[in-house]
Amino acid sequence: MPAVNSQTALPSPLDGDRPIPLYEHVKRQISEAILMGAWAPGTVLPGEIALASQYGVAVGTIRRALADLTAEGMLVRRRKTGTVVTGRSPHHSLRNIFQYFRLHGADGALLRSTPEVLSLARRGATAEEASALRVEPGTPLVHVHRRRLVAGVPIMHETLLLPAARLPDFPTKAKALPALIYLHLLERYGIRVSAVRESLTAAVASTEDRRVLELRAPAAVLVIDEVAYDQAGDPIILAHHRAHTEGCCYLNEIR
């Protein structure tokens, strides 16, 4: 199994000034590294003392973060080996949502995707959007359109709508948009996505689907309509995802 190089692979030390428990911050850093592919499945993490030194926190803080990630299935403890990355993702855990992408390969493995921003703009909410987000029609919304690629192949495209008033200084240029928007909301604004309501349907691929996902007609797509809620129960993201599922499946676990 590959081992982590503690000098190059670990995130930077923590400043301890975050308005959340320090172990949660450590946990998010480790989760992000795994979700972004920096720590591949099978990677053996350094020992607790080495991690504590790297992060600049107590061993107990590291132990709490690793225990949570182990309980969620992202890590596994193995005798004579240590703490190992499993390759599973805690997307089903509403306590810690970082990345919305539940398409898995035919073998059940999580598909690692790369987001590509197609457009980033602001516009007023339609009556339907305003109702879903509990704002007034015409309220300024951040509008994100992006697609996800797996091994360079487009597999999903999505639109995300967020109330602009709740996100001061949100990026205005596509290249500045964070890959993990849920994590950015937590880190930058203290907004934690704590619940998601979604509806799944199937549809014939539209002209836009075929263009963005490089499909040939006729084709079918999986349609996922989502509303994500913050820790206060207020809607924060209205999303519409469209994906083709040839060679993969949609997987949503509740644990």
Q: Is the pLDDT of residue 44 over 50?
A: yes
Residue whose tokens read 């619940």? 195
Report strand pairing: 140-150 vs 114-124. antiparallel
* 0.85 surpassed by pTM: no
The C-alpha angle with vertex 71 and arms to 70 and 72, in degrees rounded to 5, equals 90
CATH 3.40.1410.10 residue ranges for the chain: 103-250
Please give the Cα distance from 62 to 233 (Å, whole number): 30
- Mean pLDDT value of segment 61-73: 88
Q: How confident is the model at residue 13 (pLDDT cuts 50, 70, 90)?
A: very low
Q: Are strands 248-250 and 103-105 parallel, antiparallel or unpaired?
A: antiparallel
Give the model's pLDDT for residue 92. Answer: 43
Residue 42 vs residue 167, higher pLDDT: 167
**Helix (H), strand (E) at residue 195:** strand 195-204
Q: What is the CATH number of domain 103-250?
A: 3.40.1410.10
- CATH number listed for the domain at residues 22-88: 1.10.10.10
Distance CA 65, CA 61 (A): 6
Give start-end residues of each CATH 1.10.10.10 domain in the chain. 22-88
Give the model's pLDDT for residue 253: 56
Rounded to whole angstroms, how far apart are CA atoms 249 and 108?
8
